[in-house]
Chains A and B, each alone.
Chain A
């Protein structure tokens, strides 16, 4: 029971009659006095001439007065002048006497010399006896601390809002079901949609259709699991474009652990995508560099044969048959060399777009094998194929997939310095096309398995590769084709890289 309620009850006469009946007035007065001292509010009892009849300890200690200082003084003498005038406390006390009506909910700032500034929440209550207002109680609750705290909260809120508004990333919040509640300036800038246009709409309406069900699942996970979820999903913009955004979704929990909302932070990935494309390009050139020796060897052989055959034709008294053989050697030599160059060009051509198309992976694998077979040969590696299907339809980008496969093949070949067999398997499940690249090479130590997809991580012999090959594979397979790439390995016995691409 709050002090106010208690006093009201006492005032209503309920207590008094009970106590008087049983114990007598003396006991009642004792209880009243004790209550006065116990309540954590300042209390003054005032008569109809606005003189102080009683003041509790709380009031006296807060105002640094002794009881004798207070009792019998007029209210306006006791409380500091400006306070009484500005707030017209005396007037309000008189009003209460006149109309027998309580006044509640006033806030007053009490500033007196030698006393620290306090803020009170005050009530003025009439004490009625024999249908007459005999006294008035001025009850003051010190709310200085609460106000200070709420001011701090306000300041913190403003600071937080400042951070959110000046952030370069999208910061938005939704209710647990995904209805947008806030949308910061960066979100406005990046998407072109103003905050008022999106407020109250579903977040899922602002992402492309094909991502919606996935994002609904992500929101569900955040709500239930309480963990953050990350991923890359596009967002729609006002001029009907799609922008790649890297998202972090986190739940906001209340004190009971219930999710009361979801905060989404999104980074515009355009610049990063651009850099990734450049990295893909330069890694491709690096892979070409690794293959240069094998390619040179393979092109110079047919060139040498053609060159010799032409030199023979310059000589005199050749048999008709030998002349024909020479011409055939020249023609087939040129053809061989130009095929190698053509395969190389197809691979080296930079891809201008990352758009995915419906394609069969089998010919992509064959083209890639053609590229590495020369390198394999000079490293004494033979390539064996186990394809259990004729067609492997996926949604993909042929040039990027070829780059990923090439890196995996070269990685396998380089892991076999003493030569060996590189086995390429193609398989299919209901939902995935599975390509396995199995080498019989050095293998990878367990402690290094986690690191092999990190950029610039390279195993000895250092200098054979750029350390980018497998990290690029990861980017191409996982980020650009929403596939998976896994590795199993046992040291000294070889490794198996498995690429899984969703069936299309």
Chain B
């Protein structure tokens, strides 16, 4: 159990993926909101300030990386973890996105629960240097 529960938004157009992610996070005491499109995610973010976003790379209305940029603009403090079956671990796009601070980390599908949780928690406790600058 984390000391402090996080407010997390999960964005994926696949209902079963939302189910899996939600259950992993709920079991560890986090508070979870779900969005199945970029537009829904953006409207949720107008209402609440999220600590972490778990984001799919391919959404029906927008590319995941593009949405990441918009999320960062709205909320520079947020940590974004991209979860995708489209990219692979050493993919150049992902390396670049992490290096630029656009996303904190990348997780390939299928993923290990413990690994995912530790990434969520470390993303929060060690925000990316760029995010700190923009603070």
Contact = CB atoms under 8 A, between A and B. Distances in A.
Contacts of B113: 308, 311
Interface in A294-317: 296-309, 311-312, 315
15 contacts: A297-B57, A297-B58, A297-B85, A299-B85, A300-B85, A300-B108, A301-B14, A301-B17, A304-B111, A305-B110, A307-B110, A308-B24, A329-B19, A378-B58, A378-B86
A480 B60 CA distance: 38
B23 interface: yes
B89 interface: no
A380 interface: yes
A24 interface: no
A396 interface: no
B121 interface: no
Interface string B74-105: 00000000001110000000000000000000
Do most interface residues of chain B lie in helix, strand or loop, or is the interface mixed? mixed
Nearest to A311: B113
Interface of A: 293, 296-309, 311-312, 315, 329, 332-333, 377-378, 380
B35 to A, nearest CB: 17
Contacts of A332: 16
B9 to A, nearest CB: 18
Contact of B110 (A297, A308, A315): A308
B85 A305 contact: no
B16 A302 contact: yes
B126 to A, nearest CB: 25
Given A297-B58, A298-B85, A302-B16, 9 more contacts: A300-B85, A301-B16, A304-B109, A304-B111, A307-B110, A307-B111, A308-B20, A315-B27, A377-B60
B127 to A, nearest CB: 26
Q: Which of A296, A305, A329, A377 has the most B CB atoms < 10 Å from its CB? A: A305
A331 to B, nearest CB: 12
Main secondary structure of the interface of A (DSSP, over half): helix
Nearest to A379: B58
Q: Counting chain A CB atoms within 10 Å of each CB, which of B24, B58, B60, B61 scores highest?
A: B58
A463 to B, nearest CB: 15
Contact of B20 (A299, A300, A309, A377): A309
Contacts of A297: 57-58, 84-86
Contact of A304 (B17, B23, B60, B61): B17
A315 B86 CA distance: 29
Interface string B29-55: 000000000000000000000000000
Nearest to B83: A304
Contact of A308 (B23, B61, B84): B23
A301 B24 contact: no
B110 A296 contact: no
B112 interface: yes
Contacts of A301: 14, 16-17, 85, 109
Contacts of A296: 85-86
Contacts of B112: 311
A305 B60 contact: no
A303 B60 contact: no
Contacts of B27: 315
A302 B16 CA distance: 8
